[in-house]
Amino acid sequence: MEDGVDITANSVHPGVIPTNIIRYYIHPGLAGVAKMLLGFAFKNTQQGAATTCYVALHPEVRGISGEYFADNKIAKAGSKGRDIELAKKLWDFSMSLIK
């Protein structure tokens, strides 16, 4: 955190939350089976929002910046999330869109 500036930036993974996407990407006859089989891995809406709310509001996280959070704790990002060269390409591309 920069001196005198109270701004932090973190990345948050809400988890896998069932949405209507199954309706569009899985054969209609298999949607129910897919929901049943994958249901153990899904989070409900409240569970999915929990990490975002925790990072945004909890006093324990105050002043922490530049981290990746999952399941209400700091986690290790995947290899692409830790790739500095890829991050630079994304930054440069994003900047080109707003110029």
Nearest alpha-carbon partner for 51 in 21, 80, 74: 74
Residue 3 maps to a domain = no
Collapsing DSSP to helix, strand or coil, 30 comes out as helix
Residues of the domain holding 76 = 11-98
In a domain, 33, yes or no: yes
Q: How many domains does the chain have?
A: 1
- Residues 69, 35 contacting (CB under 8 angstroms): no
Query: Which pLDDT does position 5 carry in this prediction?
Result: 76
Q: How far apart are CA 76 and CA 19, in angstroms?
A: 26
From the list 92, 73, 91, the residue with the least C-alpha distance to 64 is 73
Q: Classify residue 36: in a domain, yes or no.
A: yes
* Residue 27 domain flag: yes
Query: What pLDDT digit, counting tens, does each position of 29-68 carry?
Result: 777 777 777 667 788 889 999 999 999 999 999 999 999 9
